[in-house]
């Protein structure tokens, strides 16, 4: 489609676009502008807005344009806004949050359709986020592999077994209000490995090494070689884009067809982001 209310500058050949010409707080009631933003979201999978001044209430209002808020079970929300939590890495810490390829909360029965991530404090350099187009990951597979995956479902767990356990990964991130990590194994859901996007009708690969522990009806030992092969295939460089952050940047991405990875290359610097997930829905 042509855009009249916004400008759209692609970030890479595979996905991603920077959206200009719009102050989100002033555009909240403008349905024509939001129709164009939504179309850019579907076309580019990751959309980035620069120089936005958003309060938590503003962030909630922007998220509402994509769907109802979705609860994240392992980090407390900020005061007064239980669905928004802060991702903090202090200058003294070595670990960060989200440092593995994944789609958000695939272990929930109704994962969110979109994630909003807003930059409050950013390092002078580093701390970028990578994104990978999972339509391309599926469409570039052989016909035989697509036929196999169309019949498979993945068992997804929050336990982070292959990363040493969620408690080990998250409990020592001192700047974040982490909780309930001991209950991680209770969060498990089964979803199609080849997911059909409800708005575009395209199929996307929907598994990741962080959360998909096996295929339904198979053992972990049987499943892991194929999970590993697909996980590597899904994040080839030609499927990706990279977003650099600065304060006031908001990125919104489509969890139904995108994986992301938070790069941990800014030791000695502080980074503070606010995250909101919205639009819980059952993958088909």
CB 93 within 8 A of CB 265: no
Q: What CA–CA distance (Å, rounded) separates 176 from 161? A: 21
**Has 211 been annotated as catalytic?**
no
Distance between the two ends of the chain, CA-based, in angstroms? 27
β partners of residue 96: none
Closest-CA residue to 117 (of 159, 156, 66, 59): 59
Residues 6+ away with beta carbon under 8 Å from 119: 245, 246, 247, 248, 249, 250, 272, 273
CB 170 within 8 A of CB 210: no
Residue 86's Cβ-side half-sphere holds a number of Cα atoms within 13 Å equal to 18
Catalytic residue among 65, 169, 211, 275: 275
**Has 38 been annotated as catalytic?**
no
Catalytic residue among 65, 104, 166, 209: 104
**Has 275 been annotated as catalytic?**
yes
Catalytic residue among 44, 102, 166, 170: 102
**Has 260 been annotated as catalytic?**
yes
Please provide the size of the chain in residues.
284
Catalytic residue among 44, 169, 195, 260: 260
Annotated catalytic sites, by residue? Answer: 102, 104, 260, 275
């Amino acid at each position: 489609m042509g855009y009249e209310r916004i400008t759209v500058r692609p970030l890479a050949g595979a996905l991603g676009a920077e959206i200009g010409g719009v102050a989100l707080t002033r555009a909240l009631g403008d349905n024509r502008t939001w129709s164009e933003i939504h179309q850019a979201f579907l076309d580019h999978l990751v959309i980035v807005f620069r120089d936005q001044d958003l309060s938590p209430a503003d962030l909630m209002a922007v998220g509402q344009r994509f769907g109802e808020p979705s609860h994240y079970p392992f980090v407390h929300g900020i005061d007064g806004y239980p669905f928004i939590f802060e991702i903090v890495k202090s200058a003294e810490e070595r670990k960060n949050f989200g440092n593995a390829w994944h789609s958000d909360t695939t272990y929930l029965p109704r994962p969110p359709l979109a994630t909003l991530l807003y930059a409050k404090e950013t390092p002078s350099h580093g701390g970028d986020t990578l994104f990978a187009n999972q339509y391309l990951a599926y469409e570039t597979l052989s016909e035989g592999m697509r036929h196999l995956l169309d019949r498979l479902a993945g068992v997804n767990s929050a336990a982070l077994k292959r990363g040493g356990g969620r408690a080990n990964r998250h409990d020592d991130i001192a700047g974040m209000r982490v909780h309930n990590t001991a209950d991680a194994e209770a969060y498990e859901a089964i979803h199609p490995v080849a997911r059909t996007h409800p708005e575009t009708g395209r199929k996307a690969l929907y598994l990741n090494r962080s959360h998909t522990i096996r295929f339904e009806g198979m053992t972990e030992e049987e499943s892991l070689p194929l999970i590993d092969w697909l996980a590597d295939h899904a994040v080839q460089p030609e499927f990706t884009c990279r977003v650099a952050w600065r304060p006031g940047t908001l990125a919104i991405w489509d969890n139904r067809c995108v994986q992301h990875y938070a790069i941990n290359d800014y030791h000695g610097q502080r980074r503070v982001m606010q995250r909101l997930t919205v639009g819980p829905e059952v993958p088909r």
